[in-house]
Amino acid sequence: MGVRNLPVEPYGLAQKKHPSRQPLSWKVVAAGVAAALTLLYLVFTATKASAEYYLTVGQLRAKGPAAYGQIVRIGGRAADGSIHWNAKTQTLRFEMTDKNGSRLPVVYTGVVPDMFGYARDGHYQDAIVEGALQSDGVFKASQIIVKHDARFAAADAQATAQAGKGSGGNP
């Protein structure tokens, strides 16, 4: 019972010596709130600025002219035999297709990812193209990402992401 009378808490004593110094917890809270608000603002504006829709070919088609010029990511794969590469102009043309068979002509200028044109069982790899639909109905891609199926997708963290990243998509 005697223990209770002992100063168990050394900092308790220190604070008694300086009664004028109030704990600064409110300053800490204020700093925290300020930081949180700044973060919220940063996140909000950045999210708005860089948001992009992930659509399938069919979903983009369904949007019609509303999709012109809007930056989107389209998932699907190149239709069989549709890939044409012009080395002179460094231009790649192909048609994206999805499970339901919708088609979308795509044009892309730049380096084509190594695995893009690799066909297995007669089909090309699944891919994601980033870019915008132009008013002529052709999708202008700024980046091509090749999706690998399970056996390519090692449990690594970095590599295959950029494996697919066409260098054309550099910020």
Partner 1 sequence: MSIPSVASLALAVALAFSLFSAVGGGIAHIRGVSELRLSAVRAALSATALLTFCALVLWGLLLTHQFQVAFVAQVSNRSMSTRAIVSAFWGGQAGSLLFRTVMLSWITAAVFWVQRRRESATLGLVLAVLSLVESFFLVVLLTSANPFNVLSTTPSDGQGLNPLLQDEAMSFHPPLLLTGYMAFTVPFAFAVAGLIHGEMGSLWLKALRRWTLVAWTIQGCGLIAGAWWAYHVLGWGGYWGWDPVENVALLPWLVATALLHSLMVQERRGMLRVWNIVLATAGFALAVFGMFIVGSGVITSVHAFAESSVGPLFFTFLGIVLVGVLALIAWRLPLLRSRGRFDSLAARESAFLLNNMLLASSIVAIFWGTIFPIVTEALKGAKIGVGASYYVQVDTPIFCIILLLMGVGPLLAWRRTSGQRFWQAFTLPLLAGGAVTVVLLVMGMPRGLAPLAYGACALTAIATAIEISRGAQARRQSGDGIRVALTGVWLKERRRLGSYVVHFAILILAVGVIGSTFQQSAERELTPGQSLRVGSYTLQYVGVSSTRGTDYVAEAAAIAVRHNNSLLGYVQPEKRVYAHWNSQPVSRISIMTTFPWLDDVYVLVTSITPQGAIDLRVFINPQVSLLWIGAVLFGIGVLILGWPARRQPRLFTPRVEQGSVASEA
Chain positions contacting partner 1, by CB under 8 A: 9, 11, 15, 21, 23-25, 27-28, 31-32, 35-36, 38-39, 42-43, 45-47, 49-55, 73, 75, 87-88, 90, 110-112, 114-115, 117-119, 128, 130, 145-167, 169-171
Q: Which residue pairs, CB below 8 angstroms and at least 24 apart, start in 50-55? A: 52/130
- Least separation in angstroms between CB 10 and partner 1: 9
Q: Which two tokens stand for residue 90?
A: 């460094």
Q: Cα–Cα distance between 26 and 4 in angstroms, integer?
A: 30
- Least separation in angstroms between CB 92 and partner 1: 11
Q: Which one, 56 or 97, has the nearer CB to partner 1?
A: 56
- Least separation in angstroms between CB 2 and partner 1: 21
- Least separation in angstroms between CB 171 and partner 1: 6
- Residue 156: which region, alpha, beta or left (left: phi > 0; alpha: psi -120 to 50)? beta
Q: Which one, 4 or 136, has the nearer CB to partner 1?
A: 4
Q: Cα–Cα distance between 20 and 72 in angstroms, integer?
A: 60
CB atoms within 10 A of CB 50: 8
Q: Write down the residue that tokens 């399970």 correspond to.
A: 150
Give the pairing of strands 84-86 and 91-97. antiparallel
- Least separation in angstroms between CB 67 and partner 1: 12
Q: Which one, 36 or 68, has the nearer CB to partner 1?
A: 36
Q: Is 107 helix (H, G, I), strand (E, B) or coil?
A: strand
Q: Which one, 21 or 136, has the nearer CB to partner 1?
A: 21
Q: Which one, 135 or 158, has the nearer CB to partner 1?
A: 158
